[in-house]
Amino acid sequence: MFNLRPAVSSVTEPLGRSLLGVGVTANAVTVAGTVASVAASLGLLARGHLFLGAVVVTLTVLTDALDGTMARMSGGSTRWGAFLDSSLDRFVDGAVLGSLAFWYATGGHDDVLCAVSLAALVLGSITSYVKARAQSVGMTCDVGIVERTERLVLALGACIFGGVGVPYVRPALLWVLLALSAVTVGQRLAEVRRQAVAA
């Protein structure tokens, strides 16, 4: 597997250093990236501009790497920064799948894929909630076949393939996203139960 971290760092480190130099904080980049991602989702994906929307959202989501680099350069992530980053991630996830669901319910004319998108959105939120709730009661929950990155790759991949007219791939990826999200929720619930019983 290719290690993309050096390539990403070669971009994020000088950019992050420059932004810090002019007084921009990692948290400001987090907020800006979230606003841009949500705006691109609502303005492009929800209106059926799937390819362009997916490309723009992908670029804005990459600010996750930038704000992390900036936090490290400025002395490490604070509790508030980590909380803010995780919380705003939920806005992006909701905007992407919510916009897809809206498109399918309106211009896309596909009630089934609208429901699939909404179900994947709900399962993604539950996946994150189960982990956070487990941690709040002193347990860990670092299991699951798909994390946030994989969910976004599947959702945005569906948009890109759909946007260029590749048949069948878009619905297939959304169904895969739904199935894997359901499996992940089950894995996390089972893991928390296992720890609770063992304790």
Q: Which residues are catalytic?
A: 89
- What is the 8-class DSSP label of residue 21? H
For residue 27, what are the CA distances in angstroms to 36, 75, 93? 14, 13, 18
How many secondary structure helices (H) and strands (E) does the chain include? 8, 0
Among candidate residues 18, 35, 96, 29, the one with its CA nearest the CA of residue 65: 29
CA dist., res. 47 & res. 39, Å (int):
12
Burial code of 76-114, b = ≥16 C-beta within 10 A, e = fewer? ebeeebeebbeebbeebbbbbbbbbbbbbbeebeeeebb
Tell me the one-letter amino acid at 26. A
**Tokens 């399962």 — which residue?**
123
- What is the 8-class DSSP label of residue 45? G
CA dist., res. 141 & res. 124, Å (int):
15
